[in-house]
Amino acid sequence: MDPEIARMFATALSIGLGALGPAIGIGMIGSKAAEALGRNPEAESSIRTNMILAIAFAEAVAIYALVVALIIKFA
């Protein structure tokens, strides 16, 4: 197999799988936050703050996957 083809395949696989986990996680965070708001609407400020913080951490994982994919592609 050509090394360039293997590098492209590894790049696509790393960003594809690396974005899948955070996407599922962010969906679950949003779902549970909406459920929590439905059960306890007066705690909206606290729920929103914790939700945004959790989403930021999940996005950080996707950014790490992007960095790894770029390193694979250009190194």
Please tell me what DSSP assigns to residue 2.
Answer: -
Q: pTM of this prediction?
A: 0.82
Give the pLDDT confidence score for residue 41 in this predicted structure. 94
Residue where the block lists tokens 């705690």: 43
What is the count of structural domains for the chain?
A: 1
3-class state of residue 64 by DSSP: helix
pLDDT digits (tens, 9 = 90+) for 24-59: 999 999 999 999 999 999 999 999 999 999 999 999
Residue 20's alpha-carbon distances to 1, 5, 42, 44, 62, in angstroms, are 27, 23, 33, 28, 8
| 69 in Cβ contact with 14 (< 8 Å) | yes
- Find the CATH number of the domain harbouring 15: 1.20.20.10
Q: What's the CA gap between 58 and 62, in Å, rounded?
A: 7
Domain around 51: 3-74
pLDDT at res. 8: 95
